[in-house]
Amino acid sequence: MSHITEKYFEQTVSSIVRALQFDSSLKAPDGEYPFGKETADCLQWFLSLAESFGFETKNYDNYIGEVVFGEGEPFAILAHLDVVPAGGGWKYPPFGGVINDDVSDGGVAGRKIWGRGALDDKAPAVCCLYALKAIKDQGVTPKRTIKLILGCNEESGWKCIEHYKTAAQLPKEGFTPDADFPVIYAEKGILHLTAFFPIQNAPFKTLTAGERVNMVCDKAVALLTKKAGQELALYENFTECFYDNTTNQLVTYGKSAHGSTPQKGVNALEKMLKFFASMNEDCKAAYEVLFNDALALQKMQDETGALTFSPNLAAFDGERLAVTVDIRFPATHKKEEVLAAFASAGIAAEEKSYQPPLYNDRNGNLVQTLLKVYNERTGANAQPIAIGGGTYARAMENGCAFGPEMPNEESTIHQANEYVTFERIRLMNEIYYEAIYRLTVPTQKIHIATIKTTKN
């Protein structure tokens, strides 16, 4: 590992641990805290740490903050400090920042830090801050004004970015350390919509499912009608459901995953609707649309991949089942194609949020510089990729996502037991340092060590 970044490793680890100890999941607005006090506290802690390194900082009303370094044309590093809810199933406190080398579940060997936000996106944000410190401590002043921007609402609406655009000027170019290596040049469009399915003679009085639209639903709960409770044993697929005869509740469990990769999770709502489909024709119709691609939407594809469709939230009001779906459509397609499919099928659908696709020049200087740093450091011969996830990169005219996840690794982002390894921290420290240096310092020098990172 480069001696330039190695000396900051222990500090980086300590700072990541502290960052993970803030529960910065979305809370109700509280006066001057638009996303909850603890999220604001996390932002202020990060900015205070940067100030202690001698950087200029700004806090934009606890929506978003920035660390400023250098002079000249602005360059952005867009990270975020908010996290999705912890959910259940953790073996260590999700906001504890526990360090150990646990591999009891067959996981990756080596020292790890456990906690919600370990990879998404607190550790990468901290590593980028220490990359700036490493440059500054050499007495180097970048010839671009680097803005390390820390959002507080990336996971649930991007109100932080909207606020920033009203209070400051967002740089036209930059990267976000909030996705995958080697480097991402294109991102699918993101459409969240709620579809409404009338259910006559429903076998349940209430049905609720999911926590967040961009997390694969890991639990669904239905309060059955008396008749349905008495007839449960008559139906197939009952083995995947858990029934409490004292409360007359039916529960199904799944496995959470990021909404952009529903195939990596197990959807609890799918299990529940599959069961109710055997009892009720309206439930069957809803199941076919939501989980059997009755609208043929998943045939939509291009070089950025096929459309993904993840029904993650549900609620029944006594007449209609409202299901909110996370849809990621290929970058060369349009949201109107999706909306038209629902309309043609006579299904009422309400658009909740939308982010247009990102489609950048894969041979441009930004993408190619980041790709070169990654390939030199890892010895790979990778090419730019496209993803279904949505990142801050699409907020800029020329933006891309760069790390921290590696190709073909099992992701724990948005899942229980999220962690970051010490090895990954070392890699991020070095790659982000070198990438920022090459993109913002006019006399480019090679700082990457020729040996691979030593595992710890």
The pLDDT of residue 389: 75
Q: Which 8-state DSSP code applies to residue 452? A: P
Domain layout of the chain by residue ranges: 3-187+359-440, 189-355
Q: How far apart are CA 218 and CA 83, in angstroms?
A: 17
Q: What is the pLDDT along the chain (456 residues), one digit of tens a residue?
A: 466 678 899 999 999 999 999 999 999 999 999 999 999 999 999 999 999 999 999 999 999 999 999 999 999 999 999 999 998 899 999 999 999 988 876 678 889 999 999 999 999 999 999 999 999 999 999 999 999 999 999 998 899 999 999 999 999 999 999 999 999 999 999 999 999 999 999 999 999 999 989 899 999 999 999 888 887 776 655 667 888 888 999 999 999 988 889 999 999 999 999 999 989 999 999 999 999 999 999 999 998 889 999 999 999 999 999 999 999 999 999 999 999 999 999 999 999 999 889 988 899 999 999 999 999 999 999 999 988 777 899 999 999 999 999 998 878 888 899 999 999 999 999 999 999 999 999 764 444 433 233 333
pTM over 0.85: no
Burial of 66-97, coded b for 16+ CB within 10 Å and e otherwise, reads bbbbbeeebbbbbbbbbbbbbbeebebebbeb
The pLDDT of residue 49: 98
Fold matches, 3-187+359-440 and 189-355: no
The pLDDT of residue 245: 83
CATH no. for 189-355: 3.30.70.360
Domain 3-187+359-440, CATH among 3.40.630.10, 3.60.10.10, 3.10.20.740, 3.40.50.1390: 3.40.630.10
Furthest C-alpha separation in the chain: 76
